[in-house]
Amino acid sequence: MNLLRFLIKYTGIDSTIKEAINDAIGSDPEALKLLYPRRAPPIDGTSEMLKIAENLGIKVQKSERSQVDLRRLAAAQAANVTPIEVKNPEDVLWEIAQRFRVKRSGNH
């Protein structure tokens, strides 16, 4: 690694890289943020599904029941999402699936 550093300094590549970075940061201070790694925010699967349904024009009505079926609760926990009580969840998922269905053409 020391040999690589020596070669970079000897050839002048380090000063070229420093100048390029300084020019980029000087012209746009927001460019500095690109150099630092960031964690992606966690995604809530429930809110994402509700957004997809809303964007597709599907009406989702939340049920007034506060008790979630144990099967659905276990499935939600296994999928690392928050369970949500929706009237006719199978119908809502079926409507979403139909919007993404591939239409066949030809003799298939």
| φ/ψ of residue 23, rounded to 5 | -65, -40
Could you tell me if 49 and 95 lie in one domain? yes
Higher-confidence residue of 1 and 70: namely 70
Q: What is the mean pLDDT of residues 5-31?
A: 80
Q: What digits encode the pLDDT tens for the residues 72-104?
A: 777 777 777 767 777 777 888 888 888 887 777
For residue 65, what are the domain limits? Answer: 45-99
Residue 90 maps to a domain: yes
Q: How much is the mean pLDDT over the chain?
A: 76
51 and 91 housed in the same domain:
yes
Confidence of residue 107 (pLDDT cuts 50, 70, 90): low
In a domain, 92, yes or no: yes
Residues 51 and 93 in one domain: yes
Number of domains in the chain: 2
3-state secondary structure the chain: CHHHHHHHHHHCHHHHHHHHHHHHHHHCCCHHHHHCCCCCCCCCHHHHHHHHHHHCCCCCCECCCCCCCHHHHHHHHHCCCCCCCECCHHHHHHHHHHHCCCCCCCCC
49 shares a domain with 31: no
